[in-house]
Amino acid sequence: MKHNKPLFFGTLIIAVLGVIALSAPLISPYDPTAINQANLLMPPSGRHLLGTDGLGRDILSRMIYGARISLSIGIIAVGIAILVGVFFGSIAGFYGGIADSIIMRFVDIMFCFPAFFLILTVVAILEPSIYNIMAIIGLTSWMGTARLIRAEILSLKEREFIQAEVALGVSHARIIIRHLIPNAIGPVLVSGILGIAGAILLESGLSFLGLGVQPPTPSWGNILIEAKSTLGVAWWITLFPGLAILVTVLGFNLIGEGLKKKIGR
């Protein structure tokens, strides 16, 4: 019963996307890296539903595999961000005092860096690879989560059931992990969903600049590299990846909205 329209449509979109990504080898009509000199820059047709690119590769197949790549980068990057953010945020919130001050100043410092340029710099120094991208995006976007968790824990810490746990002889680590974090994690999950959309955008941007996923591995961002120079003659190379990114980010944002409605914040 989804009278929560944003949640319903968002979940629908992302579910479809997920299925596509998971079943890529099964549904992809061609090998996404198969070069075919005879079919360069063909518009959408019966044989190539979304056309071909400058090397004759089928765009639809590249888009399907690109979904896989973009989605997994987004999810893992956010996973890293949540792990790091929850770690620092819960220590800061629970122990307070010096630990809190040091961690929060560190968060402030991290916020001062324009994330995109920080990522650009790091990627330019290290070689761009999928794993580096995941790690880098994750390690530069954990700060919001840290602040959220810290705020939740600061207030939860005073709740009576925590006092009861202390009276029971439960260790600090257990209190934090088993009792505080599950109660505090709500806003973090919402922010995490929205974060996946952000991570996908970030990855697309990096790939477009040539610093993300490297060809021949397809990513919606790196399909767009070619789009720049062929915009006049091959509109399909620009339209479809752009549309895909749009719809995906929309889907995640709808889920985020729907979740916010659901938990009433």
Partner 1 sequence: MKTKLLEVKDLKVVFHLDGRVIPAVNGVNLDIAADEILVLAGESGSGKTVSALAITRLLPANAKIISGQAMFLGQDLLKSDAEALRAIRGKEIAYMFQEPTAYLNPVYTVGEQISEAIMLHQSKAGKEARHAVLELLELVRIKEPQRVIDDYPHQLSGGMNQRIFIAMALACKPKLLISDEPTTSLDVTIEAQILDLLVDLKENLGFSLLFITHNLSIARRIADRVLVMYRGRIVEEAGREAIFNSPRHSHTKELIAAYHKIGRIGDGSIFQSKIVLEK
Indicate the residue among 117 and 161 with the shorter CB distance to partner 1.
161
Q: How far is the CB of 166 from partner 1 (least distance, A)?
A: 7
Least distance from C-beta 187 to partner 1, angstroms? 14
**Beta carbon nearer to partner 1, 101 or 171:** 171
Nearest to partner 1 of 105, 159 (CB atom) = 159
CB of 169 vs partner 1, minimal distance in Å: 4
How many CB atoms are located within 10 Å of the residue 249 CB? Answer: 18
8 Å CB contact between 116 and 137: no
Q: Write down the least CB distance from residue 97 to partner 1, Å.
A: 11
Closer to partner 1 at the Cβ: 72 or 163?
163
Q: Is the Cβ of residue 187 or residue 198 nearer to partner 1 in the bound state? A: 187
Nearer to partner 1 by Cβ, of 174 and 228: the residue is 174
**What minimum distance in Å lies between the beta carbon of 86 and partner 1?**
16
Tell me whether residue 41 or residue 154 sits nearer to partner 1 (CB atom): 154
- Minimum distance between the CB of residue 178 and partner 1, rounded to whole angstroms? 8
**What is the chain written as a DSSP string?**
----HHHHHHHHHHHHHHHHHHTHHHH-SS-TT---GGGTTPPS-SSSTT-B-TT--BHHHHHHHHHHHHHHHHHHHHHHHHHHHHHHHHHHHHH-HHHHHHHHHHHHHHHHS-HHHHHHHHHHHSPP-HHHHHHHHHHTS-HHHHHHHHHHHHHHTTSHHHHHHHHHT--HHHIIIIIIHHHHHHHHHHHHHHHHHHHHHHHHHHHHTTSSSPTTS--HHHHHHHHHHHTTT-HHHHHHHHHHHHHHHHHHHHHHHHHHHHHT-
What Rg, from alpha-carbon coordinates, does the chain have?
22
Sites of contact with partner 1 (CB under 8 A): 159-161, 163-171, 178-179, 182-183
Cis, peptide link before residue 216, omega less than 30° from 0: yes
Q: How far is the CB of 154 from partner 1 (least distance, A)?
A: 14
